[in-house]
Structure 1
């Protein structure tokens, strides 16, 4: 198992570091709610990963690969949500300036569009995450080991690595907190993340 864990860790770290909707939504949380907003959003993403790891360990996520209809429904729902998040970020540019990121987040809070739920829903509605786990994890399961339990263990380690990455991202944000506190800069960052989220949504909807 140790021989499989090292290459899995290397591969997982490289994948975690790749920019994607999960990372972007955490950055959005940082921009809109400061460090607390980033922590809460990251917690939502991690809980979404827990759902997918559990589904992979139980064999449920394999249904996504077997059912094109189910995959497409979840894919379009995820794409629509990313588009909605992006549009909400762009619309926030019209709101009056807030003196702090926390106040900006409070003024722009819209249920599933911010904080924990933004991270959780973004992850859970992305079927590529589920397909990734059922395609990626089995290649590192040693012969003779329980598929379900080993999948859960490797998935848990992947979640831990993701949590470390988010912790580093949030930690680094503290060094630019003063810069981000400038309303003009924060609005530009919010606009940029909004545009990229719209791009991710369009790409997810367009992928077969």
Structure 2
């Protein structure tokens, strides 16, 4: 298999992983629905940077160390689960508060800006030790034969960004629908429940 074929295959696998439902998807959908496509795109960018970091970590052995160390895995797992639970509770509180229709001329009802959305996406991805296991298993299979770490990292970054930016723009385009109080509360409630469920699943997971 040529280097270009390896890189293309790697990008396809990473894209399929990004499309799998999980906390990254939930964060982008909620950010786009509640705060607008700009903030959804910022969250998507944070997730893409997180994936880039995991590919580099897997290629340099850092992620392998995390996967091999029970203590390191547990620490990251607990912190990641706590963060997902925090996001989930925050979403449920927003659903409970409800309120009037969301004004579309303000960037964020919380007033925290795009940087907070970027950080939320980045932390959601980086604090997920399952991402480490995924890339530790995946990256070594594509290294060599001209497929360099920078090339694989760039492809992973681009593929993840394309998928989640698409999600952010599709949801953002429907924001007038999500601006309705009942719809927004439903999004907050469902997202909050999903994030809490994912947090509990992560907290109770074990290394394969």
Q: TM-score, normalised by structure 2?
A: 0.86
Report the more deviating stretch, 102-111 or 180-189: 102-111
CA distance in 1, matches of 2:47, 2:175: 22
Structure 2 equivalent of residue 166 of structure 1 = 164
Structure 2 equivalent of residue 55 of structure 1 = 57
Structure 2 equivalent of residue 67 of structure 1 = 69
CA distance in 1, matches of 2:84, 2:101: 24
Structure 1 residues without counterparts, runs of 5 or longer: none
Structure 1 equivalent of residue 79 of structure 2 = 77
Report the more deviating stretch, 73-82 or 49-58: 49-58
Cα displacement (A) at 1:47? 2.2
Contact 2:99 2:181 in 1 (8 A): no
Check 1:51–1:203 CA distance in 2 against 1; reply closer, same or farther (3 A cut). Answer: same
Q: How does 1:105-124 map to 2 (within 5 A)?
A: 105-107=108-110, 109=112, 114-124=116-126
SS in 1 for 2:174: helix
Contact 1:13 1:161 in 2 (8 A): yes
Cα displacement (A) at 1:29? 0.8
Report the more deviating stretch, 158-167 or 41-50: 41-50
Which protein has greater RCO, CA pairs closer than 8 Å, 6+ apart? 2
Please state if 1:100 is matched with 2:98: no
Note the alpha carbon deviations across 1:90-147, whole angstroms, 9 max, x for none: 01121533532575833375999x512211111111111122212111112245x58x
> Over the residues paired in the alignment, what is the CA RMSD in angstroms?
2.4
Structure 2 equivalent of residue 187 of structure 1 = 185
Contact 1:98 1:104 in 2 (8 A): no
CA distance in 2, matches of 1:121, 1:188: 24
The count of aligned residue pairs is 203
Check 1:3–1:99 CA distance in 2 against 1; reply closer, same or farther (3 A cut). Answer: closer
